[in-house]
A and B are shown apart, each in its own frame.
Chain A
């Protein structure tokens, strides 16, 4: 019996005439076996996809907090001189420490920039910390390593940084959100970048939403089936597949160089005289607008197409003109879909990095953008620059910035989904 099964797969075995039912059964077994093997393969592939996503998110969270070996020029414990620890002192207690430890010139500068009366306890503490204690993050560990290998880390710190302290740092904290960019990872924050991103996004919305919706109305409601309109449609589909970096090059050539008088603001006399070139928020916003325009149009078309024809016919039947029909009947019904599509497209613009690097995001700015003619940086640009730095701590603040970026994107996407679920109507 076993012998027969082993040869079961040979279709033209001599036993064919005598034992056909058996042969069929044997074949069935191997087919089912193959079926279940492949089912496992398919399942594993799906699991790998999910694992990739989970690993990515875990890895980033893992980097946002953990132990850090920090060396001080003057440890806070010696500064506090045995009394209460520095972070609990009031501003009045802290100020003498600051005055005693920095040069007279420096103290004058500090007082001029930040008058003492305006400082909160936290501000005073930070001043003393960064002006006097001057912490430097020498080496950092991830959260998992901090939890499971604490002794090892302690040993490394004791050996390599005898002067240093081992502190548990949460890199994503309030001061990270509200501080401007800095050269020191312990002080660096993402405020400049968040503001830059928001400025850019506002321009993107102001520019791509009207033109995108108008184009989709034209293509769906006005355009007749002719060669010209087919070319427009094909062209939009092709533009949607052009790599983002090409749009960056286009923005560099057109907005930054060709239209420099406009995009630098010199034409209106309000440009930033220190930079006076086209590498501004306006250029970046216009570049990203071009990038997402095809996506906005395609999504808008789908939303408009979903409005049933009976609505239009009823409107025409009442004597409405074409535009009246579109404005009062088609658009209100298509709007949730159009908004959802636009928000999704905008969230893509929010995460774009390469075109902004090409258009000329500033490598280092510490001041917030004032108007659309300012130099700019954005959250993804900031992540890119921090990732490129070799020191450990920059990797941690890059991870913290990624969390900020992902949360902002999540909010945008959740809005889009809510809009769709709340207002979309099925016809």
Chain B
């Protein structure tokens, strides 16, 4: 037995005469692990920060004597100068632009996904899918420029300058749909691809055509993944800021005419915070109230989408 290093071996006089292989304390590893844990927890701090700071400023807004909670949720006028804070004009514009975006993105996105997954050759798919993902990676300010300087003039030349205002929700919505299209098509395509091919083979064996296999076998089997993609798309549309800030108009407007200018929740935040704004004014605090609502909306949608994805994964793995 080696006895060169008594620290590593138990003394022979002791009754337990075996090697001490207990790991020695490594202080630097403990420190490193501490940093790793801190980094992991950091994301929770971010969430707490969002809830805390947004909540705090929003609370200041709601407890202000000039503001009533009932008016906030039911009022149809948003004019901070005269202390009218009804969120409905901003909310209706947000819903309208998201709705238009989804009307573009859902049908197109699903068709593209079905085509790429079920019809296209692997080579074609290998070219088109990255191309669409480039579209998803284009900064939204570029798409805002596109909406204002291409889509709006196009709409105005088709429908006439009297019907379509220079700033309008419609062109912002369409371009937002173009932005969300790749998101939906990419996620849907992944979901369709994950459907086991035995299901397809079975359906072909029964004499189904390609369309029938796609729409009556593959799509229903992947429906939860598709639903998750759509919900995520809606969440993205609600939170999208630059396209609507540039193209949809500056000024809250309670309307259901998509060709009129109207300001969304995100657009309002961008416009007001971009100007000179004094801290702790009612105007400033109201932005946080809007942001908190936005956060809650998108959080709920994201959680639903993740729940669906998790269920979907369990089905096929």
Seen from chain A, the residues whose Cβ lies within 8 Å of a Cβ on chain B are 31-32, 34-35, 38-39, 41-46, 48-50, 52-53, 55-56, 59-60, 63, 210-212, 214-215, 217-219, 222-223, 229, 231-232, 234-239, 241-246, 248-250, 252-254, 257-258, 290, 293-294, 297, 321-323, 347-348, 350-354, 357-358, 360, 363, 380, 383-384, 387-388, 395, 398-399, 402, 405-406, 409, 413
Contacts and interface: CB of A to CB of B under 8 A. Distances in A.
A290 B112 contact: no
Nearest to A417: B130
A353 B240 CA distance: 11
B36 A351 contact: no
Contacts of A323: 26, 29, 32-33
B132 A53 contact: yes
Interface in B98-141: 107-108, 111-112, 114-116, 119-120, 128, 131-132, 134-135, 137-141
B167 to A, nearest CB: 11
Contacts of A249: 53-54, 269, 287-288, 291
A32 B37 CA distance: 59
B209 interface: yes
28 contacts: A31-B209, A31-B212, A34-B209, A46-B111, A50-B128, A63-B149, A211-B42, A217-B36, A218-B36, A239-B43, A239-B46, A241-B235, A243-B295, A246-B50, A246-B291, A246-B294, A246-B298, A248-B269, A252-B273, A321-B26, A323-B26, A323-B29, A347-B137, A351-B140, A354-B270, A357-B273, A405-B142, A406-B142
Contacts of B145: 60, 383, 387, 398-399, 402
B181 interface: yes
B39 A244 contact: no
Contacts, number: 252
B242 interface: yes
Contacts of B144: 384, 387
Given A42-B112, A48-B108, A241-B235, A231 B148 contact: no
Interface residues of B, number: 87
Interface in B204-241: 209-212, 215, 232, 235-236, 238-241
B65 interface: no
A206 B116 CA distance: 39
Contacts of B283: none
A353 B243 CA distance: 10
Contact of A41 (B111, B132, B142, B143): B111
B57 interface: yes
B115 A45 contact: yes
A49 B212 CA distance: 24
Contacts of A53: 131-132, 134-135
A388 B108 contact: no
B135 A232 contact: no
A243 B298 contact: yes
Interface string B195-206: 000000000000
A215 B294 contact: no
A244 to B, nearest CB: 7
B111 A45 contact: yes
A380 B142 CA distance: 8
Contact of A49 (B37, B46, B185, B215): B185
B141 A380 contact: yes
Interface stretch (B4-12, B80-88, B251-259, B299-307): B299-307
A54 B308 CA distance: 34
B73 interface: no
Contacts of A59: 146, 149-150
Contacts of A399: 145
B218 to A, nearest CB: 13
Question: Which secondary structure dominates chain B's binding surface?
Answer: helix
Interface string B151-174: 000000000000000000000000
Contacts of B181: 49, 52
B246 interface: yes
B279 interface: yes
Contacts of A383: 141-142, 145
Given A46-B112, A60-B142, A232 B245 contact: no
Contact of A218 (B40, B269, B273): B40
Given A38-B211, A253-B288, A290-B46, A237 B306 contact: yes
B192 to A, nearest CB: 12
Given A42-B111, A245-B269, A380 B33 contact: no
A297 B43 CA distance: 10
B119 A42 contact: yes
B47 interface: yes
Nearest to B32: A323
Contact of B211 (A34, A44, A229, A358): A34
A354 B112 contact: no
Contacts of A290: 46
Contact of A43 (B38, B43, B115): B115
Nearest to B35: A214
Given A42-B114, A48-B108, A53-B135, A353 B43 contact: no
Contacts of B33: 222, 323
Among A239, A245, A293, A402, the one with the most B-chain Cβ atoms within 10 Å of its Cβ is A245
A422 to B, nearest CB: 18
B23 to A, nearest CB: 7
Given A43-B119, A245-B291, 8 more contacts: A38-B211, A44-B111, A211-B42, A215-B39, A232-B41, A243-B294, A246-B294, A380-B139
Contacts of A238: 47, 299, 302-303, 306
B182 interface: yes
Nearest to B30: A323
Nearest to A348: B137
A395 B29 CA distance: 56
